[in-house]
C-alpha cells in the first residue's frame, strides 16, 4: 500500500533546460515554444482518438459534443468556444492566463477540428478499447510536455492540488482515518 501511495503522490513538476522560468513569459525559448505546441497537439490528438473510438470521452469533450448537437457548430469550434468562455470566467477570479493557457484553447480545438476526419472509427469493442488506451497515453504525454513548459496557470493549480493531495497522504499515513 505504501509503494502504491508513493508512486501516485505527485511531488512537483520537473524542471528541464527547456522549461520557462516564468509562467507569464511571452517570449519563451524556441525549444520551449515548440515543445508547448507539440504537447498541446498531442493532447488534442489524444482527445480526438477518444472521440473517434466511440467508447467515451472526458467531461470537457462531452460538453462540447452536447453544444455541437444543439447547434450547427463543429466539435472543434464548440471546444474553442467553451475554452474562451472558461478563460473569460477567470476575469472575476483575477486569474492571469499564461501563453500556454491561451494557446491551449486554439491548438487543442484546431487539432480536434481537423483530426477526427482522418482517424479510424473502430467497429469492434477490442479496437475501441485499444484506441482509448492509446488516446489516454497520448493525452498524458501531451500534458507532460505542456506542464513542463511552465507557460500557463496549470502549474499553480497543480501545486495547489498536490499540496492538498500530500495533506491527504499524510492523513492516510498517520492511520487516523
pLDDT tens column, 122-154? 999 999 999 999 999 999 999 999 999 999 865
In a domain, 87, yes or no: yes
The confidence score (pLDDT) of residue 8 equals 67
Banded pLDDT at 156 (limits 50, 70, 90): very low
Burial 146-167 (b: 16+ CB within 10 A, else e): bbbbbbbbbbeeeeeebeeeee
Q: Are 151 and 28 in contact (CB under 8 A)?
A: yes
CB 56 within 8 A of CB 62: no
Residue 15 within any structural domain of the chain: no
The pLDDT confidence band at residue 4, using thresholds 50, 70 and 90, is low
Mean pLDDT check: name the lowest of 103-107, 154-158, 168-172: 154-158
Q: At what angle do helices 30-53 and 59-70 cross, to 10 degrees?
A: 70
Q: Which residue has the higher pLDDT, 12 or 141?
A: 141
Residue 75 lies in a domain: yes
Assess contact for 145 and 38: CB atoms under 8 A. yes
CB 97 within 8 A of CB 157: no
Domain that holds residue 134: 30-172
Tell me, yes or no, whether 24 lies in a domain. no
| Averaged pLDDT of the chain | 85
Is residue 177 in a domain?
A: no
The pTM for the full model equals 0.81
Residues 6 or more apart whose CB falls under 8 angstroms from that of 125 comprise 55
The total number of structural domains that make up the chain: 1
| Residue-wise pLDDT tens digits, 77-92 | 999 999 999 989 888 8
Whether 130 maps to a domain, the answer reads: yes
Cα(133)–Cα(106) distance, integer angstroms: 25
**Mean pLDDT along residues 91-108:** 89
Alpha carbon 177 to chain centroid distance?
32
Kindly list the distances between the CA atom of residue 86 and the CA atoms of 4, 81, 95, 116, 133, in Å, as whole numbers in the listed order: 34, 9, 11, 23, 28
Strands in the chain per DSSP E? none
Amino acid at each position: 500500500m505504501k509503494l502504491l501511495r508513493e508512486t501516485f503522490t505527485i511531488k512537483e513538476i520537473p524542471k528541464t533546460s527547456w522549461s520557462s522560468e516564468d509562467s507569464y513569459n511571452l517570449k519563451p525559448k524556441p525549444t520551449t515554444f515548440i515543445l508547448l505546441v507539440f504537447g498541446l497537439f498531442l493532447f488534442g490528438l489524444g482527445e480526438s482518438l477518444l472521440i473517434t473510438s466511440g467508447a467515451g470521452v472526458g467531461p470537457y469533450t462531452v460538453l462540447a459534443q452536447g453544444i455541437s448537437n444543439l447547434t450547427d457548430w463543429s466539435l472543434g469550434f464548440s471546444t474553442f468556444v467553451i475554452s474562451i468562455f472558461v478563460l473569460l470566467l477567470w476575469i472575476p477570479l483575477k486569474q492571469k492566463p499564461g501563453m500556454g493557457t491561451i494557446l491551449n484553447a486554439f491548438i487543442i480545438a484546431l487539432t480536434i477540428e481537423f483530426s477526427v476526419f482522418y482517424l479510424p472509427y473502430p467497429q469492434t469493442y477490442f479496437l475501441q478499447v485499444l484506441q482509448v488506451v492509446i488516446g489516454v497515453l497520448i493525452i498524458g504525454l501531451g500534458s507532460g510536455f505542456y506542464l513542463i513548459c511552465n507557460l500557463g496557470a496549470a502549474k499553480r493549480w497543480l501545486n495547489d492540488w498536490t499540496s492538498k493531495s500530500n495533506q491527504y497522504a499524510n492523513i492516510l499515513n498517520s492511520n487516523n482515518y
